[in-house]
Structure 1
Amino acid sequence: MVVGVAALALTACSNPIVTTSDTTQQTAPPGPGTTSTRPSNDKLVNAFDYYTRTDDIRSGYYFTSPSGSWRCVIVPRTWAGCQSSTGTGRIGVTGAPQTITDETGQNVAPNSIVVHTQGDPQFAAVPVDQVKQPSGTPKTLPFNKILAAAGFRCNTQQEIGISCVSEQTGKGFTFSNTRVSWQYTDVP
């Protein structure tokens, strides 16, 4: 955990993300389109349409789920993650831990699910302003479309939810409010 937090601090400057190293949470069986081969490119959206530039911490590729329930961001070459758009301070995913330990040893509620360029996908505590688009409303990522940018790819699928992966490691997550799986599920 200390190595992961130290690496995060080095790669994301002052990005105060808190993660949990426990990735053995409840997993669901692989969904349709689950793959261990190279993801498809035939359903890509124009990443430029999703990019917002502000500063090193909040510049990124922002999107919301078609339902509007989730907001997500790809922070270039650092991490991709999502949190509930309700702003309740909890992730709202069945199988999420009640608390995670932050870098100071404090127990905090996870409000996000993230995957870093390196490392395993995890539940995390990410400040709301780092996932919420700094200005305006983020663009919706349509069902069965893929946003590929800056070392990550994410998609939304009506049957399974949201899925993101680090293209460098192939590690990712697929989740909805009722389940989480620690693998990327490509668009069929």
Structure 2
Amino acid sequence: MPSPILFRRTLIVAALLASAALPTAATASAQPGDSYFFTTPSGQWHCGIVVSDGPAWAGCRGPVPASAPNVQGGGVASIHPNGVAVTSGQHAVLRFYSDVSVDPPGAHVLPYGRTVSAAGIDCRVDPTSGVTCRVGDHGFTISAASYQLR
């Protein structure tokens, strides 16, 4: 059985996504330690909004376009990124995830056109442009074909 915290988080996300009365945006009241994980309908992108004692952040792991520059990560000085992240108050960055910080088991599908929001971060999935996550003036849009960092 999953830990009580993971189970609670999974239930919160499931309730947000499965609700028949879900408006265009689902807003969650986030507390430190809460995290909201989702995958895209295509299954290519695994994403999360992570709320901790520090600044909240959002990130996605998936097939970053070949045109993206290498980053430091995974214990090496230069590697092709496999994801992107944005932290409150900072510009988005390409990154290499060597763990499951944004794709733990049990994440739910966020349907196209729906938005999940927590701790001032909004993430939305579009069939053409991919995943967009924003926090204030910063954020990212990423798909297998292109990316934009703000």
Partner AA of 2:24 in structure 1:
K
Cα RMSD for the two superposed structures:
2.6
Partner Cα separation in structure 2 for residue 153 and residue 115 of structure 1: 11
Q: For residues 113-157 of structure 1, what are the alpha-carbon distances to aligned partners after superposition, in whole Å with 9 as ceiling and x for unaligned?
A: 111112111101223321122xx4211111111111012110001
User: Does 2:69 correspond to 1:106?
Assistant: no
Q: 2:93, 2:48 → 1: CA distance?
A: 15
In the alignment, does 2:59 pair up with 1:81? yes
Deviation readout 1:149-180 (Å, 9 max, x if unpaired):
0121100011211100113xx21111110011
* Partner residue of 1:65 out of 40, 46, 69: 40
SS at match of 2:100: helix
Query: Does 1:148 find its partner at 2:117?
Result: yes
Aligned residue type for 1:177: A
Which AA in structure 1 matches 2:103?
A: K
The change in CA–CA distance for 1:132 and 1:164 in structure 2 (over 3 A counts) is: same
What corresponds to 1:93 in structure 2? 65
Mapped contact 1:94–1:180 kept (Cα < 8 A) = no
Q: CA deviation at 1:107?
A: 2.3
% identical aligned pairs: 27
- Unmatched runs of 5 consecutive residues or more in structure 1: 1-41, 85-90, 184-188
The higher relative CO (CA closer than 8 Å, separation ≥ 6) is in: 1
Residue identity opposite 1:166 in structure 2: V
Tell me by how many angstroms 1:105 deviates.
8.2
| 1:115 to 2:90 alignment | no
Contact 2:37/2:107, CA 8 A, preserved across alignment: yes
- Could you tell me the TM-score, scaled by structure 2's length? 0.71
The aligned residue for residue 43 of structure 1 is 24
Structure (1/2) with the larger strand percentage: 2
Aligned residues, how many? 124
SS at match of 1:142: coil
* 2:6 equivalent in structure 1: none
Q: Name the CA distance, whole Å, in 1 between partners of 2:27 and 2:149.
A: 26
Residues 49 and 118 in structure 2, CA contact (< 8 A), matched pair in contact too: yes
**Aligned equivalents of 1:158 and 1:47: distance in 2?**
24
TM-score when normalising by structure 1: 0.58
Correspondence 1:162 to 2:143: no
Confirm whether residue 129 of structure 1 aligns to residue 100 of structure 2.
Answer: yes
Shift of 1:95: 2.6
- Provide Cα deviations, 1:27-66, integer angstroms capped at 9, x if missing partner: xxxxxxxxxxxxxxx5113547xx9x9x95xx51100001
Unaligned runs of 5+ in 2: 1-22
How far is 1:182 from its partner?
2.3
